[in-house]
């Protein structure tokens, strides 16, 4: 018999570690412990089963104990909770439903305990009508309650990924839904100027959205729960979904000698090794390095957990793989809209004190002359050397592939120049000869080459003390349909003939619909000696914020 490897926790990190290790080492003795009944399931599919987009419960299960044993010869022990890790003796203490309390020794230990839903000490939070969503039992309980308890209304607490997905799916079940978020905006991966588009979609779909307001208390009144917010606003609902975040589930290792971070995350090196010999850790319970800022962080996502499990297994098997950090690539469906992000956003970059520049483009999902082209908004963040730091995209079609391309460029330490040079698949039904990714690269390239002089609408306030003229270079019809207050209209095709109307002693702040005509206006005016600022993203970005 070869080395003995214990794996604590299944799902993404633990299950991928077990399968990878078996493929690398046929002789290892591999034992996986899972506290619950289910060892490997589709976490991200749980809201869609509750919403009945996923009809069959069985579709949620990736592996069962029987299938893991049959294919990988892994001793899977579900309903078995590891309650203590004794690193000095290289053993764990297990509390098993079928075998009681016993100990198991190891040569190597891989910890993948995951995270648990936060349940802060708020008055009334233990009501049986307040649910969290992390696993199959949680899912079954919520669906059973919605199916059979005559639920008509719900309050979802928390505007993160799970909160938004639950709000959408319960709304699709016909419930009246109120979403409460303590922060000024939902979905922290997105900057304020992007996420407002998603908030408008929630309102359009009938979700009552309450921002900048947290929960003070819960109280059961009859068959409902009364939610009192910090503003003293009171909400009544049949069902409460608590989705305010997660905490690492690491209480069981507090006396093990394993080093933990300030919020209880297990500290690991690039090989996923802990500070204890032959002990590795992966998944939502570990602290990781932010790929962009290089600072310590925690990003609970399934993709990184799978990769970390594979890397831990590699190192147990002697392959010396390393994990280079998490860049937080994520995507979400918000009713009819798709929103995706990768890398750092403005808040993260500001907190890390990293300088950056921004560009917005508003391309079509494919060639505009081919039927079905739909608009998207793409925001790119990059530094003065052209290195791509992050991106966010929101639209109806093709958002996923654009963010995936940029995510790959970021992972390879790519630049704006790389974005312009990418040769991407093109045919009219799928893209344009200049893909949106290329367009974002071109726009950023122009900024770095000082070929255009951009300003974000939110930063125009800095120029209030300057004597500037605000110019709308769109057509008269576009201008009449809506414009920024105080702007004068000089259409781009008339700009050369009407340039005498502009005072060369004033800064010209100009904009078009999406930025392209504004860039052309910038080139004309700059070469005529004017000081020009072009509003990046144009009127479309400005109007999205209003």
Task: Tell me if 511 sits within 8 A of 534, measured CB to CB.
Answer: yes
Domain hosting residue 482, numbered range: 454-545
Position 164 scores a pLDDT of: 97
Higher-confidence position of 62 and 259: 259
Asked if residue 270 and residue 349 are part of one domain, the reply reads: no
Beta strands in 170-243 (DSSP E): 176-181, 208-211, 215-221, 224-229, 234-237, 239-242
Q: At a CB cut-off of 8 Å and minimum separation 6, what does 425 contact?
A: 431
Residue 413 has pLDDT above 80, yes or no: yes
Pairing mode, strands 100-105 and 115-117: unpaired
Does a structural domain hold residue 177?
no
Per the structure, how many domains does the chain have?
4
Average pLDDT over residues 175-179: 98
Position 10 scores a pLDDT of: 81
Asked if residue 299 and residue 362 are part of one domain, the reply reads: no
Mean pLDDT across the chain, nearest whole number?
94
Average pLDDT over residues 422-428: 97
Nearest Cα to Cα of residue 488 among 504, 497, 476, 496:
476
**What is the per-residue pLDDT across 94-116, written as a single tens digit (0 to 9) for each?**
999 999 999 999 999 999 999 99
Does a structural domain hold residue 122?
no
Does a structural domain hold residue 521?
yes
DSSP summary character for residue 198:
H
Does a structural domain hold residue 441?
yes
Asked if residue 411 and residue 358 are part of one domain, the reply reads: yes
Q: pLDDT grade, residue 546 (50/70/90)? A: low
Higher-confidence position of 260 and 39: 260
**Final residue belonging to a domain, choices 448, 482, 511:** 448
Position 465 scores a pLDDT of: 65
Active site residue: 4, 25, 29, 44, which one? 44
Asked if residue 159 and residue 99 are part of one domain, the reply reads: no
Q: At a CB cut-off of 8 Å and minimum separation 6, what does 252 contact?
A: 81, 82, 83, 84, 85, 113
**What is the per-residue pLDDT across 376-392, written as a single tens digit (0 to 9) for each?**
999 999 999 999 999 99
Alpha carbon distance 51, 291 (integer Å): 34
Alpha carbon distance 31, 236 (integer Å): 47
Nearest 10 degrees: Cα torsion 508, 511, 512, 514: 150
**What is the per-residue pLDDT across 217-271, written as a single tens digit (0 to 9) for each?**
999 999 999 999 999 999 999 999 999 999 999 999 988 999 999 999 999 999 9
Nearest Cα to Cα of residue 280 among 1, 2, 8:
8
Residue 64 CB coordination number (10 Å): 17
Residue 69 has pLDDT above 90, yes or no: no
Residue 463 has pLDDT above 90, yes or no: no
Does a structural domain hold residue 120?
no
Asked if residue 233 and residue 197 are part of one domain, the reply reads: yes
Q: pLDDT grade, residue 1 (50/70/90)? A: low
Average pLDDT over residues 110-134: 94
Alpha carbon distance 116, 261 (integer Å): 16
Alpha carbon distance 291, 275 (integer Å): 22
Nearest 10 degrees: Cα torsion 450, 456, 459, 461: 110
Rounded percentage of the chain residues whose pLDDT exceeds 70: 99
**What is the per-residue pLDDT across 469-519, written as a single tens digit (0 to 9) for each?**
999 999 999 999 999 888 999 999 999 999 999 999 999 999 999 888 999
Could you please report the per-residue DSSP string of 407-468? HHHHHTT-BHHHHHH------TTT--SS-HHHHHHHHHHHHHTTS--EE-GGGGGGGTTS-E
pTM for the predicted model, two decimal places: 0.93
Asked if residue 416 and residue 461 are part of one domain, the reply reads: no
Task: Tell me if 293 sits within 8 A of 104, measured CB to CB.
Answer: no
Average pLDDT over residues 523-546: 88
**What is the per-residue pLDDT across 271-322, written as a single tens digit (0 to 9) for each?**
999 999 999 999 999 999 999 999 999 999 989 999 999 999 999 999 999 9
**Final residue belonging to a domain, choices 266, 286, 316:** 316
Does a structural domain hold residue 331?
no
Does a structural domain hold residue 218?
yes
Residue 42 has pLDDT above 90, yes or no: no
Bridge partners, 225 (sequence order): 220, 237
Does a structural domain hold residue 325?
no
Question: Active site includes 44?
Answer: yes
């Amino acid at each position: 018999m070869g080395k003995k490897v214990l794996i604590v926790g299944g799902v993404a990190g633990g299950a991928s570690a077990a399968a990878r290790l078996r493929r690398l080492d046929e002789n290892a003795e591999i034992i996986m412990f899972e506290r619950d009944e289910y060892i490997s399931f589709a976490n991200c599919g749980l809201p869609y089963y509750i919403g009945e987009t996923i009809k069959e419960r069985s579709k949620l299960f990736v592996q069962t104990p029987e299938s893991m044993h049959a294919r990988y010869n892994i001793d899977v022990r579900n309903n078995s909770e590891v309650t203590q890790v004794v690193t000095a003796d290289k053993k764990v203490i297990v509390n098993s439903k079928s075998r009681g309390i016993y100990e198991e020794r190891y040569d190597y230990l891989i910890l993948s305990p995951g995270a648990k839903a936060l349940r802060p000490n708020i008055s009334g939070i233990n009501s049986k009508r307040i649910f969290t969503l992390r696993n199959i039992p949680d899912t079954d309980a919520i669906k059973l309650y919605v199916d059979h308890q005559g639920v008509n209304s719900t309050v979802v607490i928390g505007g993160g990924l799970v909160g938004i997905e639950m709000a959408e799916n319960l709304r699709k079940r016909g419930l009246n839904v109120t979403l409460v978020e303590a922060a000024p905006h939902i979905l922290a991966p997105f900057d304020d100027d992007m996420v407002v588009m998603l908030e408008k979609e929630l309102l359009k779909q009938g979700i009552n959205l309450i921002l900048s307001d947290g929960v003070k208390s819960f109280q059961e009144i009859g068959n409902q729960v009364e939610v009192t917010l910090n503003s003293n606003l009171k909400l009544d609902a049949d069902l409460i979904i608590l989705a305010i975040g997660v905490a690492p589930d690491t209480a069981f290792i507090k006396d093990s000698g394993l080093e933990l971070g300030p919020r209880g995350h297990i500290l690991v090196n690039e090989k996923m090794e802990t500070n204890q010999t032959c002990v590795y850790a992966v998944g939502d319970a570990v602290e990781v390095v932010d790929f962009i800022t290089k600072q310590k962080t925690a990003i609970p996502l399934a993709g990184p957990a799978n990769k970390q499990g594979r890397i831990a297994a590699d190192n147990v098997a002697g392959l010396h793989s390393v994990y280079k950090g998490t860049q937080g690539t994520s995507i979400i469906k918000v009713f009819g809209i798709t929103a995706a992000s990768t890398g750092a956003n403005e808040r993260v970059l500001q907190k890390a004190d990293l300088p950056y520049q921004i560009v917005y483009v508003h391309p079509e999902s494919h060639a505009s002359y081919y039927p079905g082209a739909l608009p998207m908004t793409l925001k790119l963040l990059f530094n003065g050397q052209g290195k791509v730091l992050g991106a966010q995209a929101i639209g109806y079609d093709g958002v996923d592939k654009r963010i995936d391309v940029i995510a790959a460029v970021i992972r390879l330490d790519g630049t704006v120049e790389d974005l312009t040079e990418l040769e991407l698949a093109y045919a009219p039904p799928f893209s344009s000869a200049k893909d949106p990714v290329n367009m974002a690269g071109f726009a950023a390239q122009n900024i770095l080459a000082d070929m255009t002089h951009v300003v974000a609408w939110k930063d125009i306030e800095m120029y209030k003390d300057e004597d500037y003229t605000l110019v709308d270079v769109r057509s008269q019809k576009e201008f009449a349909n809506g414009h920024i207050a105080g702007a004068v209209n000089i259409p781009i095709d008339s700009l050369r003939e009407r340039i005498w109307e502009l005072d060369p002693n004033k800064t010209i702040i100009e904009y078009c619909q999406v930025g392209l005509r504004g860039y052309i206006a910038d080139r004309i005016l700059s070469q005529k000696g004017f000081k020009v600022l072009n509003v990046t993203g144009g009127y479309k970005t400005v109007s999205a914020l209003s």
